[in-house]
Each structure stands twice: as structure tokens, then as C-alpha cells.
Amino acid sequence: MTGARATFEYRIEYASFSVQVHEGPGATVERFEAALDHRAVPLPLYHRSPWLKAFASARSLVLCVASPDGPEVSFAAEVERSRVIPGHRILRVRRLGSAVNPTAVLAGLRALQDTVAGESRILRIHVELFNRDPIARAACGRQLREFGYRLAVEPRSYRETIVIELQGDESTLFESLHRTARRKLRALDRDPLSVRPVVEQACAKRLQELVNETMARTGGTVPRPAWDRLIALGVEHPSRLRILGSFPQGVTDPDSLLAFALMLRHGDHVEYSWSGSTRRTDVRAPLAHGLIWHGMLWAREQGASWFDFGGITSGSAGDGSDPLGGISDFKRSFGKTVVAVGEEWVFEPHALRAAVAGAVNRVAGRIREAKRRWSRTG
């Protein structure tokens, strides 16, 4: 990963699986993905070539796992720079394991470990397991522990989420929602908004403005995704990504965008990802509820069987210790089915370097917290 490396095939003796490792996406990876699609393997968007080309490109390893019966799964390990020790790297495998062969996943992860074993500048491998099946998730976790992984102390991925099942017709889906959400959606008939896909590059600046305003209300860290690339990806692959926007009726100017929601399709389900809204408006209708409803309808159209609200916290709006409690309350207003879906596991190939990085990170965290307290009191 330190320079250009030719694609190579790495074979391991793990339940008869073979693993090919590629630096970034390419023609071979795309052919493998096409074969997985033919076998109806639900590949998350984060591991697909269009996403990797737009956001990870050469900064990723793609592992293609096959059995004697054919392709089983492929996934990407994104390469991130360490903010603690210059020149070092962290590998992150996102949203891995839902509705795919768990043994094939483990074969790929074992190959990933062996691939980076000689890379002295790899501090950690983070694996974000994602699976609604608690038995399958636990079995995979036990195997990862045998591989030398441990559960992350401060995971970045969420553990629980609100789930809405998408089976049945539109009226059945509507009636399955909590009465609070149904009431809010009916209110849109009195003060209608125009909900449509955001496809214009001119909207990129406005999307970030809405994120900034939303984060200012919650006190969270402001994400700065590449909105221009996300918009382009939604235009090129409308069945895999959709940005939905709420506009006043009859108005299409980008600056009039009142709220948005980013929906990502990960094979058998759709994730409600980033969102943002303004409160500086005369519109009394609930801005976000229509976006969620249209996102669910889009998910059904693409063949998704369930809708993932992108994680919840345990707090609520009245809980002063949870700045995201209000957002979790909003998600609970659609449904009460809370499902454990995720675990984050960490492997440290070089324990001493990882320990030094962890110590530096803890000190930096204390300094940041002291600065936050100072800013609040000062």
C-alpha cells in the first residue's frame, strides 16, 4: 500500500475459499461484482466500485472471496491516515456481513490480516460487523476473537437502530408506522411541500449549509462530505443512492431547499444516512417526515426488504447528557422496533505501536475536552 502494486491472488486454507486482493476497484473487481449481482448477493454500497471510485479509489483494498461454487462476497478495507502517528495507516471495513455467507466473510478477513502482516505502518484494522441475525453476528464475533480481534472501546459504528419492514403495499406500510408519524404525514396535506431528488450540482453548497445549521442545534461534529460527488453518484446510479429534498411548492431554486435526506441502498436494505434542515422558514409542515416516507417508497421500489434509520442512542430530548437524544426521538416516532445490528472489532498487528498511538490519542482527547469546558465557561 506504500506504492503501486499489481493485483495478486492470495490463497488461504480456510474452508476451501480463495481470496483475490486488489488495490482499489478495477475491471476485475467490477466483473466479480457483476457475478455477485447475478447470484443476488446483497453487496453494501460502501463496498461497490462506484462508491470506491468516488470516495476511496487507490486508498482501499478490495477482497474478492470465491468458493468452488463461484463468487461468494467482496468487500473493501478503506485506508485512513492516522491522525496520531504521522505516516501510519488504519484500515476500516464498513457494514460487513449482512445477508451474506459468514464463512466467506471470515475467509476474506483472515486474508486481509495476512496481506498487511508485513506492513509495519498499519496500526489497526477496524471491522464494523452489521447483521440483524444475533446468532450469526455472535458466531462471527467469536471467530474474530480467535483471529486476535477485540471489541472496540469507543466504536464509531452504531449498535442499535430502528427498523421498518417494507413488505406489503403502500397502505400496509403506512399503517405499520407509529401513529405519531402517520399524523405528521397527514399534516403535509394541509401545508404541502415538494419532495424530489436533488440532482443539481448547484445544490451542493446548500446541502452543507443545512448540515451546518443542524449540527449547530445538536452540538455534533460537522461532517463535510463531498456533496458534488454524492450528487453525481445519485445521478449515475439512481437505484443505489438518492438525495431527497424538501422544497416549497412551485420553487426549485437551490437556496430554497428546506431539508434533505441521503438514502443509501445496501442490497437488501436502505440506510437513512446524513440529513439536514433549517428552522428559518414560515412553512409549518414537518420538514423531515415527507423525506423519510418518500425514502421508504424508493427503498421498496428498489427491492429492499427493510429500512434502517441509521442508528439511535439511548437518550431522549429531555436527557441533557445525550445531545442526539432529540434525533433518536424523531426516529422512534416512526416505529418502536429497536434491533441490535452492529459490533465494531479491532485488530492491532503491531501491539507496541498501537499502544503508543492509543496513549497519544487519550492525551489529545483530554486536551480537547478541557478546551471544550473552557469555551463553555469562558
pLDDT by residue for the chain (378 residues), tens only, comes to 544 444 556 677 777 899 999 988 999 999 999 999 999 999 999 999 999 999 875 689 999 999 999 999 999 999 998 887 888 899 999 999 877 889 999 999 999 999 888 888 899 999 999 999 999 999 999 999 999 999 999 999 999 999 999 999 999 999 999 999 999 999 888 777 899 999 999 999 999 999 999 888 776 677 788 999 999 999 999 999 999 999 988 888 899 999 999 999 999 999 999 999 998 777 777 889 999 999 999 999 999 999 999 999 887 776 667 777 888 999 999 999 999 999 999 999 876 455 544 544 544 455 445 444 454 444
Task: Say if residues 24 and 52 touch (Cβ distance below 8 Å).
Answer: yes
Residues with Cβ within 8 Å of 111's Cβ and at least 6 positions away in sequence, in order, are: 10, 12, 14, 19, 21, 63, 65
* The pLDDT of residue 47: 96
Yes or no: say if 74 and 42 are a contact pair by the CB < 8 Å rule.
Answer: no
Measuring CA to CA, which residue among 322, 370, 340 is closest to residue 131? 340
CA distances from 117 to 111, 334, 355 (A): 10, 46, 17
Q: What residues does CATH 3.40.630.30 cover in the chain?
A: 8-157+348-377, 161-340
Q: Minimal CA–CA distance to 269: which of 138, 95, 135, 102? A: 95
Provide the pLDDT for residue 193.
Answer: 85
Question: Cα–chain-centroid distance for residue 149?
Answer: 21
User: What is the full DSSP assignment across 141-208?
Assistant: HHHHHHHT-EE-SS-SS-SEEEEEE--S-HHHHHHHS-HHHHHHHHHTTTS-EEEEE---GGGHHHHH
Helix (H, G, I), strand (E, B) or coil at 212: helix
Using DSSP's 3-state secondary structure scheme, residue 368 falls into: helix
- At 8 the pLDDT is 57
Grid coordinates standing for 152? Answer: 472496540
Determine the topology of domain 161-340 in CATH: Aminopeptidase (3.40.630)
Q: Which of 23, 3, 4, 31 is nearest to 115 (CA)?
A: 23
Cell of 281: 422558514
User: How many helical (H) and strand (E) elements, i.e. helices and strands, does the chain have?
Assistant: 11, 15
CATH number of 8-157+348-377: 3.40.630.30
